[in-house]
Amino acid sequence: DKKQIREGVLSTDFGPEAFLQQLQHLEQAAGRQRPYRNAPRTLDLDILLWGHAQLNTPNLTVPHPRMRE
């Protein structure tokens, strides 16, 4: 069972927290559930970078702490 990974670059008028909420809404619409931390997922949308910003909030860390894994 091989993971398919797709990457992309997007431009948005949303701020990072609002954009994260939009990504999570798309995940939910695709049927993603979060029964426990790091559960297997059908769709995983992450913010890896936000320009040159460094963010560390309860909901969002940028650069993404595991983006090089």
Q: Residue 62: in which H helix or E strand, if any?
A: strand 61-62
Contact present, 16 and 24 (Cβ < 8 Å): no
Catalytic residue among 32, 34, 37, 68: 32
Which residues contact residue 39 at a Cβ distance below 8 angstroms, ignoring those fewer than 6 apart?
A: 33
Catalytic residue among 13, 34, 41, 66: 41
Catalytic residue among 1, 34, 37, 46: 46
Q: Is 66 a catalytic residue?
A: no
Q: Is 41 a catalytic residue?
A: yes
Catalytic residue among 1, 13, 34, 44: 44
Active site residues: 32, 41, 44, 46
